[in-house]
């Protein structure tokens, strides 16, 4: 009899673990919302160099972070999300306020570019946009509105000594 009771308890435990794994036992955290958009210059042309975009929460501790890759046309979709336990693929962001950084790709070598074109490619945006705290780019992901599509507007750096 005792053997049967232990076996039944083991079966019950396995059933409970299975229900938690497949049914969502425990707290999964706040809901996330898809975030997408585009990065453009002030003249409305896309940032076409590729790169990454990072959203960092300003109202949650520890900060929530979302990351995405910039396409050649400046479009992005956040595909990584971090709430403190590591990045998860394929999610959006929790509702909240975010500061944003844009990290454009730069060429590995000059190739056949002129010096002026190479310098523009090396610094496609003002440096302040590469850090969330200095970019001035702020967006809100609201729980009551979807989709969350943001237009991120950046400036090119000054010419700094280049001849027109």
Average of per-residue pLDDT values in the chain:
80
Residue owning tokens 């960092």: 56
Query: Do 67 and 48 share a structural domain?
Result: yes
d(CA 105, CA 71): 11
Answer yes or no: is 160 within a domain.
no
Please indicate, yes or no, whether residues 145 and 86 belong to a single structural domain of this protein.
yes
Residues 1 and 51 in one domain: no
For residue range 3-30, list pLDDT tens digits in order: 454 445 455 444 444 444 444 444 467 8
23, 101: one domain: no
Residues 95 and 146 in one domain: yes
List the one residue out of 120, 108, 118, 130 whose CA is nearest residue 56: 130
Residues 81 and 150 in one domain: yes
161 pLDDT higher than 50: no
Do 87 and 12 lie in one domain? The reply is: no
pLDDT at position 24 is 42
Examine the domain organization and report whether 4 and 65 are in the same domain: no
- The beta-carbon contacts of 18-22 under 8 Å, at least 24 apart in sequence, are none
> Residue 133: is its pLDDT beyond 80?
yes
Residue 100 has pLDDT above 80, yes or no: yes
Question: Which residues span the domain enclosing 22?
Answer: 1-27
pLDDT digits (tens, 9 = 90+) for 35-54: 999 999 999 999 988 899 99
pLDDT the model gives residue 108 = 78
Q: What is the CATH number of the domain that holds 100?
A: 2.60.40.1120
Task: Give the pLDDT of residue 18.
Answer: 45
Number of domains in the chain: 2
């Amino acid at each position: 009899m005792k053997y049967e009771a232990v076996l039944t308890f083991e079966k019950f435990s396995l059933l409970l673990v299975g229900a938690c794994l497949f049914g969502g036992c425990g707290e999964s955290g706040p809901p996330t919302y898809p975030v997408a958009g585009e990065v453009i210059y002030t003249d409305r042309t896309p940032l076409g160099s590729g790169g990454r975009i990072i959203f960092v929460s300003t109202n949650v501790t520890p900060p929530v972070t979302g990351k995405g890759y910039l396409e050649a046309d400046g479009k992005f979709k956040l595909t990584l999300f971090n709430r403190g336990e590591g990045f998860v693929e394929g999610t959006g962001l929790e509702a909240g306020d975010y500061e944003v950084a844009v990290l454009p790709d730069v060429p590995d070598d000059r190739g056949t570019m002129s010096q002026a074109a190479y310098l523009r490619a090396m610094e496609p945006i003002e440096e302040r946009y590469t850090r969330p705290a200095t970019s001035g780019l702020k967006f809100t992901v609201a729980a009551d509105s979807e989709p969350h599509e943001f237009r991120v507007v950046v400036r090119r750096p000054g010419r700094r000594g280049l001849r027109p």
